[in-house]
Structure formats: C-alpha cells, structure tokens
Structure 1
C-alpha cells in the first residue's frame, strides 16, 4: 500500500503511512496458524541398552519443546519379572522426564505377568500395583505435570485432557486379546473392564462434540487388528471397542487419531473402513516404534491444516547427516 494506491482510489487525503498500511494489511490477512506439539513412544525399554538410552531420548524430546510425552505401554519385555523393583524403576524413569509424561498400561506389565518367566503374578494384582504408582492422583508424571481428568471409579488409568482444539483420551486396552481369554469363556476381569472402556470412549466423543473440538486422539497399547475387523473377522476382545470407534468416528465432524504399540511396526496409515468398506478419511492410526527399533514420533496439531495433524518419525539414536 502506497501513495499510488491512494491516488488511484481518488483519495485527496494524505497517503497512508507505512505503519498504518502494515496494520491494515495485518487485519485483512488470514489469522496465523496455531500449533501444539507432543511426542509418542511405546514398547520400550525392553533391554538394558534401551533402559540406558531412554533418558537420553527423553532429553532430546524435551528439547523439541513438546507439551507432553505419551507412552502407550509395554515398559518392559514380555519375559522379564513384573516385580515391584522394576515397576518403581519405571516410575522413577518417567517422573524424570522434563516434559509432562502420560503413561498407558501394556500387556507386558500386567496381563502377561502370570507367565512363570515374569514371576507368576496375578495380573489383576499387578494392575492394582500400577494404579498405585502411576495414576494415584489427577496429575501426569514428569517433572512438570499437567492436570488429567480421570474416569470416575476404579479405572484410574482412563484419563483425558485438552491440548488446543484436541481431546486426548487414554484407555486400558492391552494386547494381544484385551485379556479376554482365547477360550470360549472370557475372564471376569475383561467382562468388568470392557464396558467401562467403551463407556469412556463414547463419553469422550460426546464431550468433544459438546465443546466443538477439532480432533480426538486415543492412546492405548493393543494393535486391535483393523484389517480383520474390516473383513468381519474381528477378535472377540476388541469387537465392542472397534465397533464403537467406527460408529463414533463416522458421526464426528473432526479428525480422529488412534495411537498404539504392541506389534512393533512403526507406521502412520488409514486402516479403518466404514460399514460399507470405504476408507474413513477422518481417521489415522499411528503405531509407535518398538523393540528392536527405538525412536519416537513427533506429533503436531496445526490449525491451518485440513487434516489438523502432521507426524514425523525420529529413529534413535539420531541418524547422522
């Protein structure tokens, strides 16, 4: 904008000053996009090497100024003991994170603890121990903490929190069969927890609609086998969850992201199909790095993107240029 603009408009008053012109241009320009950053990890540490490397990786993650780190379960391998000492070590490790730390339980630290190599523990007792250590109050882990809304009742591992226009939701959904049992008769623990998981899922989508949020991110451990579900071959342990997730995603106007670990295949894709077999375009699956590959996924909420999210994978140790 200059005096030429004023003359062509037939204006007899003095030309706009550069300061006024800049202010006017700013007011007419589209709003600057807002962004929020977070980090996703899972299935680590499995070995002594990973235990030594994870603090270094968490430091590198914090240097990216993320709002929080989410660990989607399996903080040990499936053959080592589920003893109190290991649990306390992981609590100390997660609490040392400079960024707020949100942890979701995996099968290796509770449902698989009945294995003799894991110590022959009662899985339900181990889950209660996890609750007393990791979800004892309404705050995240980490040196800097964020407030979490916990599901009322005994399932304190179920929580949710806002980041910008997005609702993040944690769910206790462990591999490989959601603790249902391969036999015809499901375990009592599964029968008690599964309806609570589905209720928390539905209630969280309801909240997101009420608050007109742009996105929902679900954090859980199990790979629920989306291709099997799409083919009508869903595992019984995940049937209710996946059916509800498909229906809620179909009726949600925003973007949905499901973050899980379990199968150790780092990927970002769109595996969910609707009831007619069509790809659900507002649904994205992010699977974290997992042993023997270590790394983290950088998530960015970008209000200027039609898809709302973008993701970048960071192998660890960082690759040299």
Structure 2
C-alpha cells in the first residue's frame, strides 16, 4: 500500500510538471506487407493514417514475410512506400528483413550484410522517413555506438519515444546456427540497447516526463519470463525494462509486433510479489492474416497518459 501511495504521489508530480504539453495523436503498425494483397493495399492504409492528422506513425518491423527474398529491390520498394507517407514515419527493423535472410527461401544472404543495407537505406539521415519529417536523435551520435543508427528517440506531447533494434527469432541470440550462443553480434547490440534504454529512462526522469513509449519488433515473451523461464535473447532486456519501469513515476508502454496477435494488456509482473506492474502496458500491433493499425494518443492530463484505439481493416486475402 505504501509503495502504491508513493507511486501515485510521484505520478501527480510528473503530471503537474508537464501539464502544459498538448495532446498528440500517432499511429502504430507493423508486420506488413506479408502478401501481395497487403503490398497492394499498404499505401491505402498509410493514406488512411495521413487523413487522421497524426503527428507521426511508427512501423515496428517485418516489412516482408519470413519466406520471401531479402533483395535490395524489395527493400527499395518498401522504402518508396514509406517515403510517400505524408506523415513522419519511424521504422524499427524486424527479423524478416535481416536476421532470417540466411534462409534459402530468403536468398541465402548474410544477415549482417542485410542489416548494414537497412542502415544505409532506411536510417541514413537525421530525420524520420516521409514527405514531412521530424528530427530524431540517433544512438550513432555516440562514437562508442556509431553503427546503431536504427536506435532512435524523440519527444512529443510530454512523453519520450524510443526505438530499439530488438527483433524476433530470439533477437539473433544464436545467429544462423540455432544452437549455442550468444553470438558476437547479439552481445554487441545488446550492450548498445542497454545503454540506450538506460539513457532514455534517465532523461525522462530528469525532465519529469509523463511517459515513455518503447518500440521493438520482437514479442519478448513476458509469459515465459513470469514463470521463471525467459528466453535467453530477451532475458536481459526484460529485467532492465522491469527495473526501470518500477523506478519510474510515469507510464511506460512497450509496442511490438512479431506474433501478429493484436493485443493491449499488462503482462509485466513484479518478480517478488508477482503482482501486476500497474504503470506498464504492452501494445501489440496487427499482423498477417489481419490488416490494420492502432491509433494512439499521449495526453499528460489523462492519468493513463497513453490511450489506444485499434483500427482493423479486415482479414487479408489468401
């Protein structure tokens, strides 16, 4: 009871400190396009978001399905779709476009070469994608993490938004071997992610921001972690996220895709009491065979800070 009372007092102090921020609406989508039908209709979905007068939209990874080729042509095609967005567009990479590209059906690419190509094409500038852009802060500004251009952050509506390269296929923990691990790429990127996440929470606390919204591609499997069996590729991330969340007075949201099950819930549990961590929410975006997006709003005058409204289109054609 005492801890909950302290949390409420802290939240009220945060809200008072950012009360002048105006509400901001934004869009969340990902795990698309997976099929010819989805590729055909993706511009229409983006146009729908454009008509909502959103501040920005975020794609949380997987710009192709897991069995299709990872060619430059495919990447250029999706880049063109993203650049046509009239709304600033932030993209966070998924496993289908780099960690899984070694598969024969994907063209037998070197995953690290594909990640380098993604960084070159999608993360080369200092702004979002789209016809109208927003400035982004990239982790690559730090010489110690110069490669990690895809890790980004920006502020809007009294909240901090953070993008991390943390994809499915167990976060590339095993590399292409599916045994052993962790591979060097995972170790290096995880170190970068830990620093980026810690800096984000430190900034939000220092500025008394009302909330943090973090975007990754992978489902980090809270359910396994809650019963003491986290997947190795997500163990450190989940531990850090839980500790930082419980030390933060505002609201924390994790947005991800990966399992294609659109859901909004509170899966984080305190490791000792096993009680729900009340200031944490998970939002998963739509994925094949369902097509749609989630409209979100950050409003620091709202005790919840973040609100979400799923906007399904329909089940995609076979």
Look up the match of 1:257. Answer: 253
Partner residue in 1 for 2:207: 211
Query: Shift of the alpha carbon at 1:171?
Result: 0.2
1:295 aligns with 2:295: no
**Structure 1 unmatched ranges of 5 or more:** 1-30
Instruction: List structure 1 segments (4+ residues) > 4 angstroms apart after TM superposition.
Output: none
- Who is 2:170 aligned against? 177
Is 2:185 the counterpart of 1:189? Answer: yes
Gaps of 5+ in 2: 1-18
- Report the 3-state secondary structure (helix = DSSP H, G, I; strand = E; otherwise coil) of the residue aligned with 2:212: strand
TM-score by length of 1: 0.88
Whole-angstrom distance in 1 between the partners of 2:181 and 2:284:
30
The 2-side partners of 1:265 and 1:45 are apart by: 15
Matched, 1:108 2:96: yes
Residue equivalent to 1:90: 78
When residues 32 and 193 of structure 1 are mapped into structure 2, their CA distance, relative to the original with a 3 A threshold, is: closer
Question: Relative to 1, partners in 2 of residues 1:154 and 1:32: Cα closer, same or farther, differing over 3 Å?
Answer: closer
What does residue 302 of structure 2 align with? 305
| TM-score, length of structure 2 as denominator length | 0.88
- Deviation by residue 1:5-60 (Cα, 9 ceiling, x = unmatched): xxxxxxxxxxxxxxxxxxxxxxxxxx899311000001000111101111011111
How much does 1:300 deviate?
0.7
What's the Cα RMSD here? 1.4
- For 1:301 and 1:207, locate their aligned partners in 2 and report how far apart those are by CA, in whole Å: 18
Deviation digits for residues 68-117 of structure 1 (CA, Å, limit 9, x no counterpart): 11000000000110000000001100000010000000000000000000
Do structure 1's residue 168 and structure 2's residue 165 form an aligned pair? Answer: no
Greater C-alpha Rg: 1
Task: Give per-residue Cα distances to partners, 1:293-316, cap 9 Å, x unaligned.
Answer: 000000011222111111101011
Higher RCO (CA-CA < 8 Å; seq separation 6+)? 2
Structure 2 equivalent of residue 14 of structure 1: none
User: 1:33/1:154 Cα in 2 relative to 1: closer, same or farther (>3 Å)?
Assistant: closer
**Equivalent in the alignment of 1:286:** 283
CA contact (8 A) 1:176 1:223 kept: no
